[in-house]
Amino acid sequence: MASRTLRIGLIPGDGIGREVIPAGRRILEALPSSHNLKFTFTTLPAGFTTFQQTGVALPDKTVETLEHECDAALFGAVSSPTVATKGYSSPIVALRKRMKLYANVRPVKSTLSAKTPVDLVIVRENTEDLYVKEEKTYTAPDGSKVAEAIKRISQTASWNIAAMAGEIALRRQRVRDAGTASMHGAPLVTITHKSNVLSQTDGLFRETARAALAQDRFQMVGVEEQIVDSMVYKLFRQPGAYDVIVAPNLYGDILSDGAAALVGSLGLVPSANVGEGFVIGEPCHGSAPDIEGLGIANPIATIRSVGLMLEFLGEERAAARIYEAVDANLEDGVLLSPDMGGKAGTEEIVEDIVKRL
């Protein structure tokens, strides 16, 4: 079988991003030759440090290189200024918009031996809902201030995100079939909404998601729905009941951060920003300036983001291999980073996972 060469953009960003993104590269380079994958890498600038140096947080050249010279990318972390800084805005948010990465995909997984095992994915619509940031403040007749925000839900975005959730459910099943141990027996998508109150906006999301998941290609996927407030309760009480959760932007944001608490650390939680034909893997933690340079950053969120990136590039066997190596490291419980209650450094953990590959 001919080998495939993938061009990967590396955007370390700020803080510990500059420590964990090299770890992600090491994992790609360590993949066994049996996967017939080769990689080329291009390191690209973005972040608050870049803004301080150049006056631009996301250089046009970075975007152009990703669009024309890369198949996918890894994004490390970004710092935010502690005070309002004129001209600065988040480069990862800008990347999502400029590259039309309409889905934020966040798997949350514990070890199988955990007291309450968790293995689910939250698929968050990334472009609309209240995050369109169309707000206004005005004075009411009684003299008091009133603030309003637009909540925008479109049929197109709802269809796209639900269809992606269905594809992810099928792909997760293929990865499980490729050898990754799991608690799930069949693919399942849970549509999350509040249509009992927001009958037009969330009602449109609910009915569109239902229609998208009724397509013949998803006939193997079970579909259920859950009101968002009871979803929060059940997610923490019965996390093992869920496989793939799809939600509008705001609910997905809240659910995904809350779900990270189920596994004990953001240092374990990967994500992917996905659009048509491009994916950016991104660990969910921040730049962690308090531990920058100490060599103790947990690399697992980045390594899992590498696996997630490979999934969206169609390399499910390689992704499964990475997930198994990470799971074996966590199950062993010897080399754990400080955020997990251990004393192992970044390099030790990476070396252990490389050996397990």
pLDDT at 181: 53
pLDDT digits (tens, 9 = 90+) for 101-128: 999 999 998 876 778 889 999 999 998 9
Task: Reply yes or no on whether the pLDDT at 286 is more than 80.
Answer: yes
The domains of the chain are located at 1-100+276-357
Pull the structure tokens for residue 166: 């269905």
Cβ partners under 8 Å of residue 332, min gap 6: none
Residue 177 confidence (pLDDT) above 90: no
pLDDT of residue 99: 93
Residues with Cβ within 8 Å of residue 240, at least 6 apart in sequence:
116, 117, 118, 119, 183
Q: What is the mean pLDDT of the chain?
A: 93
State the Cα angle at 129 between 304 and 199, rounded to 5°.
120
Query: Does residue 180 carry a pLDDT above 60?
Result: no
Domain 1-100+276-357 belongs to what topology?
Isopropylmalate Dehydrogenase (3.40.718)
Picking from 311, 290, 353, 284, the residue whose alpha carbon sits closest to that of residue 23 is 353
Backbone angles phi, psi at 197, to 5 degrees: -110, -50
Summarize pLDDT for 242-273 with one digit per residue, the tens.
999 999 999 998 998 889 888 878 899 999 99
What value does the mean pLDDT take over residues 285-292?
93
- For 22-67, how does the pLDDT look when each residue is reduced to its tens digit (9 = 90+)? 999 999 999 999 899 999 999 999 999 999 999 999 999 999 999 9
Q: How confident is the model at residue 182 (pLDDT cuts 50, 70, 90)?
A: low
Mean pLDDT of 164-188: 80
The pLDDT score that the predictor gives to residue 40 is 97
Q: Which two tokens stand for residue 328?
A: 């074996």
Residues ≥6 apart with Cβ < 8 Å to 120: 107, 108, 109, 239, 242, 243, 244, 245, 259
CB neighbour list of residue 60: distance below 8 Å, 6 or more residues apart: none
Q: Is the pLDDT of residue 159 over 80?
A: yes
Residue 184's pLDDT is 62
Q: Which of 69-73, 131-135, 321-325 has the lowest mean pLDDT?
A: 131-135
pLDDT at 179: 64
For residue 290 the two structure tokens come to 């308090």
Task: Give the confidence band of 281 by pLDDT, cuts at 50, 70, 90.
Answer: very high
Q: What is the pLDDT of residue 244?
A: 97
pLDDT attached to residue 254: 92
Q: What is the pLDDT of residue 265?
A: 83
